[in-house]
Amino acid sequence: MKLLSKALNRSVWCVLSLFFAIAFIITLVGEVFIRENENNINYALGINTYTSVTDDTVTDSEYFKSDYYKSDGKTYDDKAMREGSMEISRTAAADGAVLLWNNGNALPLVDGERLSFFGVSCKPKNWFFTGHGSGRVSVTVTDFPDLKAQFESENKFTVNPTLWNSYSNTQAYGMFSPHADDNHYREFSVNEKAWSAVKQAAGNSFAAYGDAAVYFISRTGAEDGDTWYDTSINTNDGNVDDNYLDLTANEKATIEALVQLKDSVFKKVILVLNTGTPFQMKTLSEYDIDACLWVGMGGNASYAAVYDVMSGNVNPSGRLVDTYAYDGDSAPSSVNTGAFEFEQYGGLPTENRSSNAYNHAYIVYQEGIYVGYRYYETRYEDTVTGNGNAKDKAGTVNGKDEWSYSETVKFPFGHGLSYTTFDYTAFDVKPDGDKYVCSVTVKNTGATAGRHTVQIYLQKPYTDYDKQNGIEKAAVELVGYAKTDVIEPGDSRTVTVAVDKYEFKTYDAYGQKTYILEKGDYYLAVGRDAHDALNNILAAKGFDAADGMVDIYGEPVSGDKARARLQHIKADDFTKYSVSPNGERVTNQFSNADINLYRGTSDQSVTYLSRNDWAGTYPKSYYKMQARNRILVKDMQYYTKITADPDAAMPIYDRVTSPTGKLSLIMLKDMEYDHEMWGYLLDQLTWDETVALCGIGNHVISAASSVNSPEVTAHDGPAGVKNDTPAELDTFMAFPCGVLLASTFDDALVQEVGNAFGLEMLHAGVGEIYGTGAGIHRSVYGGRNWEYFSEDGFISGKILAAEVRGLQSKGAIVNIKHLVLNDQEIYRCGVTTWANEQSIREIYLKAFEAAVTEGKANGVMSSLNRIGATWAGKHKGLLTEVLRNEWGFVGLVETDAATGLYMREGGARANAVIAGNDLWLRGTNNASELWGDYKSNATVCAALRESCHRILYTVLHSSAMNGFNSSTRLVYVAPWYYGALTAGQVVTGIFAFLCIGMAVASFVLPVVLGKKKNKGEAQA
């Protein structure tokens, strides 16, 4: 009885009942959650839920082959592939490095020199192999020698070991979010070691390693991490101007000390800048540093490339793809860079930052086309020609009363030195069909062999028509370039660069509302950089040093008119370019992003920067904006009413309609996009497959078993392949960052890098990459500048197209990103972005256009921001009219991470899929989000079917189809966690049942037994 009493302890059974009942309920409810988030869980656990079964193993179904196989001819040789990646990266990183200055031939280093390395960033933990953010690839530093080992690898140099060891290989730099409520802004700190500590630790060793003091300085940037500096935050670094892109107090002290020790201890001081965005030059330029080498972020090959250039193994031939100004704030875009919110608003969707919906933020591209060198060089020309009040102090940030080029720009776009010198002769331009063929003879006049970059610039006429119609013209625009092979001393090469006449057009947003070709004088010029080319043009126009012309060092110069050629266009032609090469009429598509054209901002107006009056139009402060107009408020809502498409027919689902029987995706491999068989194939898709293909895409393109379309694994780019490694490798490969690739000015080389990148994907089984970046360095403070190529759309486009070609040659789906106007990180999730159509088309879309028309890109990532009030993913003008119709894009458009309410709610998705967005980077399987409310809406369903068409077409022509032939069937394999979940349900259910039973018994049995006992006692 006592034992029974103990066994029936009510408290214990009640508590256990509660425990197991809750556990049972959790397993039941958890199943719903797990099924809703299967994609997210699979991504987190690395599970592929489909396997393919192929009966016919004879047919060769390896459509995209590797360049590296083992001796059996079938197995990938991962190690050889990685060596190939390293080799091409090393070449590219070295070819992209830019020698900014080199006084007294301080570089290259001389064999036998003994070196002292300074700076926390000489150690791997503080060297930025890539920038930060989702595009970053985690580098394993044991994959390659560190800087010291690299410099000692050929026994040419010795590195001061005491000094080297005095720098700790622990993370010194800091990256933090100062505004808790705003998770799209970060601050950075460097935490350079104090000079006193460096001297104390290693001062005695300097003399023995005094041939050169090499100081390494690094700066990063990040997704969600603009380097725009909030001066109210103290990072304890003491940066000049509180600007992360200028020297910190300790860096300044170190440089001052090194320069002071020059001659007495160190024979020369060399600076190595490892940054993905222009460093502010005003403080650096105060010091007598002998040489400065910009090396970008070279990925795994960083150290090898730095060594190659500094040792003289490679003669630097990289050229700047951004202007290096004394002060980053001297660019007009900096006035409107930062965090801006509507001053007055009403009726907008609720600001919901925790759900990534920034509905009250805006940014105005008030500078128009004057981004980077287009501003600096145009203003320079106008100071020379006396146009537009160019010398006015508007835009000066150095306290001077007059704007001066040489006090504003330290190094122009295109600048870069070599260990040798090159001379140009016989520059000529000849029309040839749709092109102008520019030729120039380049002679190596120095003593070292090297490559040279030939740059061709165009000046269009700035006409009265332009002034009347709000058209702006930059003084120079890069329109062509070529890179020579290695030219031996004394040798020459005749280099030809074909400039497309298409580059002569201008977008007229307010007059003709299309591209126009204006009459007037056009100049094509060759130059060592943008400034040199402009001086040559000015010389051809009759100006000289007496008019105020200066070279990049501020010295009077008269240019060389023989290096510029006039092309006169006799008459205006407003029709020639009004039809795109794809046969589509070109007209305004972004009027709703122009404050001066959009009806929703008819209560406001903006003055764009104009060379017609620099003084009157240079923005004096950021643009103050309101959001009260009902049209704007309406357009800002997540969902806008769907206009029924009368041509849209309700699709057929889950039915075999093909006369030839059931189709598999692979059977359509050789069929055009518009082939009728696609209709039959799409009829086989179920509704669930349709919404999964379009709507469930968290790092994956979902499989569709009804058509045997495989699951495609996707990862973030653009630095390299993340998360998955090839079978024989357990580390990742980071390729040189976008800026460094662009600085090579070498399309063929970048295509090879793209090819290597594609091989890394192929070997790792990754089919899609979220990259590469093609944003514009609108401001030096852009957090993702390291991922993007340049401040110039032309070279961005050429380099992007080359990389895309390389990647796609290995079957990759490449989501070039972020389309478009996503050039700063602050408030990027939903920020309304305002710009005029000329700047959108000529600056920001140009790179994407080249990637699509020249590179045949098969993927695009729509950006998180709004274009005007409309989210980019549901901007039909952008995704359908421009991207698909004008440019002829054939591929898929995928969102950026769809966490924002404005891009993932069911209504927003319905609008967006009609606009031309195909796929959502989001893993939640929620019927309401996934068009569940539009299941019977023919317009939405027809759009979804077309999106499936695009997605499947893209998958079909990717490496994901390797191994698939007509006999291949796709079989779903339930993830292991479903089995575990069922087991959990059974076990907790049984235990809950037993415990509840015992709990009930603990209440009932004592009563029953007690009654019996009493009865017995009574009877006794």
Partner 1 sequence: MKIKVPYGALAGVCGVLAFYLTAAVVASFQVLDRIEAETNNHASLFGNWWQTLLFVADILFACGMIAFIVLAVIGRKRSTARISAAVAQQKEVANGEAVIESAE
The residue ranges that bind partner 1 (CB under 8 A) are 10-12, 14-15, 18-19, 22, 26, 40, 44, 133-134, 180, 183-184, 222-224, 354, 356, 698, 829, 864, 896-897, 899, 921-922
Q: Are 572 and 516 in contact (CB under 8 A)?
A: yes
Q: In 138-268, at which residue ranges do the beta strands (DSSP E only) sit?
A: 158-159, 174-176, 187-189, 212-219
For residue 548, the minimal CB distance to partner 1 (Å) is: 47
Q: How would you label 455-464 residue by residue, b for 16+ Cβ within 10 Å and e otherwise?
A: bbbbbbbbbe
For residue 22, the minimal CB distance to partner 1 (Å) is: 6
Using the minimum distance from each CB to partner 1, give the nearer residue, 10 or 199. Answer: 10
Long-range pairs for 32-37: beta carbons < 8 A, 24 or more residues apart: 34/977, 34/978, 34/981, 35/925, 36/924, 36/925, 36/926, 37/923, 37/924, 37/925
For residue 183, the minimal CB distance to partner 1 (Å) is: 5
For residue 27, the minimal CB distance to partner 1 (Å) is: 12
For residue 223, the minimal CB distance to partner 1 (Å) is: 4
Using the minimum distance from each CB to partner 1, give the nearer residue, 595 or 829. Answer: 829
For residue 43, the minimal CB distance to partner 1 (Å) is: 9
Kindly give, in sequence order, each residue whose CB lies less than 8 Å from that of residue 535, ignoring residues fewer than 6 positions away.
527, 549, 551, 557, 558, 559, 560
Q: Which of 175, 226, 189 is nearest to 831 (CA)?
A: 226
Using the minimum distance from each CB to partner 1, give the nearer residue, 350 or 354. Answer: 354
Identity of the residue numbered 359: N
Q: Are 102 and 417 in contact (CB under 8 A)?
A: yes
Q: In 927-1017, at which residue ranges do the beta strands (DSSP E only) sit?
A: 969-972
Length of the chain: 1020
Q: How would you label 294-318 residue by residue, b for 16+ Cβ within 10 Å and e otherwise?
A: bbbbbbbbbbbbbbbbbbbebbbbb
**β 409-411/832-834 pair status:** unpaired
In the beta sheet, which residues pair with residue 442?
A: 424, 493
Q: Are 244 and 153 in contact (CB under 8 A)?
A: no
- The Cα 364–Cα 367 span in angstroms is 8
Using the minimum distance from each CB to partner 1, give the nearer residue, 442 or 897. Answer: 897
Q: Are 837 and 881 in contact (CB under 8 A)?
A: no
Residue for token pair 């007229």: 508
Using the minimum distance from each CB to partner 1, give the nearer residue, 892 or 897. Answer: 897
Identity of the residue numbered 461: P
For residue 829, the minimal CB distance to partner 1 (Å) is: 7
For residue 365, the minimal CB distance to partner 1 (Å) is: 23
Using the minimum distance from each CB to partner 1, give the nearer residue, 651 or 717. Answer: 717
Using the minimum distance from each CB to partner 1, give the nearer residue, 698 or 833. Answer: 698
The token pair at 563 is: 């290096």
Q: E strand or H helix at 500, and its extent?
A: strand 492-500
Using the minimum distance from each CB to partner 1, give the nearer residue, 829 or 872. Answer: 829
For residue 15, the minimal CB distance to partner 1 (Å) is: 3
Using the minimum distance from each CB to partner 1, give the nearer residue, 797 or 923. Answer: 923
Sheet holding 291-294, edge to edge: 98-102, 291-294, 269-275, 212-219, 114-118, 158-159
The token pair at 842 is: 């000529």
For residue 678, the minimal CB distance to partner 1 (Å) is: 32
Query: How far is residue 670 from each of residues 734, 746, 792, 955, measured CA to CA in Å?
Result: 35, 33, 38, 13
DSSP 670: T
Q: What is the tally of helices (H) and strands (E) in the chain?
A: 26, 35
Using the minimum distance from each CB to partner 1, give the nearer residue, 11 or 155. Answer: 11
For residue 497, the minimal CB distance to partner 1 (Å) is: 39
For residue 770, the minimal CB distance to partner 1 (Å) is: 11
Using the minimum distance from each CB to partner 1, give the nearer residue, 717 or 797. Answer: 717
Using the minimum distance from each CB to partner 1, give the nearer residue, 810 or 922. Answer: 922
Q: E strand or H helix at 566, and its extent?
A: strand 564-569
Q: Coil, strand, or helix at residue 370? A: coil
Q: Coil, strand, or helix at residue 1019? A: helix
For residue 862, the minimal CB distance to partner 1 (Å) is: 14
Using the minimum distance from each CB to partner 1, give the nearer residue, 10 or 267. Answer: 10
Q: Are 705 and 970 in contact (CB under 8 A)?
A: yes
Using the minimum distance from each CB to partner 1, give the nearer residue, 47 or 890. Answer: 47
Using the minimum distance from each CB to partner 1, give the nearer residue, 97 or 897. Answer: 897
Q: Which of 214, 207, 250, 193 is nearest to 117 (CA)?
A: 214
For residue 816, the minimal CB distance to partner 1 (Å) is: 19
- The Cα 215–Cα 204 span in angstroms is 18
Using the minimum distance from each CB to partner 1, give the nearer residue, 97 or 700. Answer: 700
Identity of the residue numbered 146: D
The DSSP result for 391-440, as a single string, is TSSTT--SS-SS--STTTEEE-TT--B-SS-EEEEEEEEEEETTEEEEEE
For residue 14, the minimal CB distance to partner 1 (Å) is: 6
For residue 356, the minimal CB distance to partner 1 (Å) is: 6
